[in-house]
Structure 1
């Protein structure tokens, strides 16, 4: 498509138009998907609590998220008089924007990626590490003690679990031999006999579990939702927010949840590849396999939120620093040692 636009309207402007169209092809369906998974989240929680969930607005309640969005859009944006006005408004925009730009390097299928860069995994790490700024700025700019406490919790929590996530990703990169996300997916083809996916490798499966739990903590989902502990912090860093500024935090949170579900699928479970390396399964387009895996992981995210009680803060930090960090660091040595012996023949 880029080449066609460059030939039709010139090299520079054609590239700009084609890139803009590709960005909208990712961003607009993503925002629609966020609205629908909020509905799905609420229905899953309701089913597990033997309730009906959203069922009034639209058929089966499908338009409930859009009604909620219209409601917050029409409400007044209230800025506390003592707040830092500029930073107060920038924080939700930053959170939502970072949740979108991370999708630039996510491959939806063979060649279906906006920016197929060789350091795609490092790009994801960089964007996810910036996510804490939106929360910290929101807490500080509110000039209120409860949002500020929540922001401090969020900073410590996100940094703690990013460290273990980094070591988990090193194990994946060592095995795949690349930082390119498309190449990591292709490295998982027929990885264990005829099964696609690093997660089926007994040596990498523990890291898939660690990555999933760390993703829960990184996105502040239950049981790690200490940044929004209603019984302690009112509503956490979002306490002073209203209207669309509050909704942007909500959209950014679910955008990050979808991103982590996608990363779980790409790094450990074959991405767009079918579960089994069997020719008839490749008739189904890869993007459908990818979306199916995202939905499965999102169901597990909701399942955990509906069933697991919230951790205490000391338990959360102990899990990150005293269990996941040493375990993931040890696994880097284990995986690198295995590869040196059996792939590269270091003992020969």
Structure 2
């Protein structure tokens, strides 16, 4: 009975984190972009520092009419937002906040996280195909090309951390982490974050959306709560990417007084990485398709392979 209650408690905590952290990242993005671009609305809506902006956005999405195009594949169209959102909930289950604070400690935790993250992208592809809209379809094709280009360097960078630790367990990787990793694993860290941004279609890798060319790509025909689910999936993806970066390369819960406040170190590091994701959106212009593929195959893949060679040498010596 005690084991069942413990599992239920962990599931509840994971669900609360899944519902809370993406919303906090969304609110942070509003504020950071408002400061960087001098936007008025997100800074003043509701009084104190624009606290009501996120609430106003949520009410707006709930009130909007849910329209399905006449030519759309209705079942796939309706299912796509859930397919895009739910996989990130599964990834939260294996991300540790401490040596014993984790939903499920899997021996293949890293493999599980990367595999499930890839499933989330399929939801966007489903929405693009089912919308029966040429702009959505073009956005989906761009996303497919982007996924194939950046999945490889992302996995190679993660494998470098796993090789250095000698395990695929996320708790084991943090346990084997050393401060020197910040130096010789830095190329893998950069490759992992950049490839993760491309997987999430975040600027400067938002060519599948490209509102000036494709209206809003795969999401063109979506509105109301279904569109809000896609946005929530994007913010959940940012949290997952930042948390995995923290776990693989930044030491997870490791830090001063980690025995007492290890979970706090994970959250702080995660939000620092998430801030970098938001900053990249504001600071960098969108790449062209040729620049996108050139960056993946001419820069990130060779850099990740070189990092694997370096990791092999360091582990053997």
Task: Report TM bin, short chain.
Answer: over 0.9
Contact 1:43–1:52, Cα closer than 8 Å, also in 2:
no
Q: Which residue among 3, 10, 17 is the counterpart of 1:29?
A: 17
Partner residue of 1:38?
A: 26
Deviation for aligned residue 1:32: 2.2
Flag structure 1 segments of 5+ consecutive residues without an equivalent. Answer: 7-14, 193-197, 343-348
Q: Which residue among 116, 119, 133 is the counterpart of 2:108?
A: 119
SS at 2:139 equivalent: helix
Deviation for aligned residue 1:53: 4.5
Q: Which residue among 138, 145, 157 is the counterpart of 1:168?
A: 157
SS at 2:93 equivalent: helix
Is the counterpart of residue 135 in structure 1 residue 124 in structure 2? yes
Partner residue of 1:335?
A: 311
Is the counterpart of residue 255 in structure 1 residue 226 in structure 2? no
Residues of 2 paired with 1:29 and 1:60: CA distance? 24
TM-score with structure 1 setting the length: 0.87
Partner residue of 2:263?
A: 287
Residues of 1 paired with 2:258 and 2:220: CA distance? 48
Partner residue of 2:7?
A: 19
Q: Which residue among 225, 236, 240 is the counterpart of 2:221?
A: 240
Change (3 A) 1:330 1:249: same
Q: Give RMSD over aligned pairs.
A: 1.6
Q: Which residue among 13, 37, 51 is the counterpart of 1:49?
A: 37
SS at 1:105 equivalent: coil
Give the number of the structure with larger relative contact order, counting CA–CA contacts within 8 Å between residues 6 or more apart: 2
Following superposition of structure 1 onto structure 2, how do residues 179-328 of structure 1 map, counting pairs within 5 Å? 179-189=168-178, 191-192=179-180, 198=181, 200-201=182-183, 203-274=184-255, 281-282=257-258, 284-328=260-304
SS at 2:202 equivalent: coil
Residues of 1 paired with 2:170 and 2:135: CA distance? 39
Partner residue of 1:195?
A: none
Change (3 A) 1:250 1:69: same
Range 53-62 or range 264-273, more displaced: 53-62
Deviation for aligned residue 1:209: 1.2
Residues of 2 paired with 1:60 and 1:115: CA distance? 38
Residues of 2 paired with 1:51 and 1:75: CA distance? 24
Q: What is the CA deviation profile of residues 5-46 of structure 1, one whole-angstrom value per residue up to 9, with x for unaligned ones?
A: x5xxxxxxxx2x543432221122322222222121011111
Q: How many residues align?
A: 316
TM-score with structure 2 setting the length: 0.95
Q: What is the CA deviation profile of residues 239-272 of structure 1, one whole-angstrom value per residue up to 9, with x for unaligned ones?
A: 0001111000000010000100111111101001
Following superposition of structure 1 onto structure 2, how do residues 83-102 of structure 1 map, counting pairs within 5 Å? 83-102=72-91
Larger Rg: 1
Contact 1:223–1:310, Cα closer than 8 Å, also in 2:
yes
Q: Which residue among 55, 63, 69 is the counterpart of 1:74?
A: 63
SS at 1:285 equivalent: helix
Residues of 2 paired with 1:212 and 1:167: CA distance? 12
Q: What is the CA deviation profile of residues 293-315 of structure 1, one whole-angstrom value per residue up to 9, with x for unaligned ones?
A: 01111111111111111101110
Flag structure 2 segments of 5+ consecutive residues without an equivalent. Answer: none
Contact 2:85–2:120, Cα closer than 8 Å, also in 1:
no
Contact 1:35–1:66, Cα closer than 8 Å, also in 2:
no
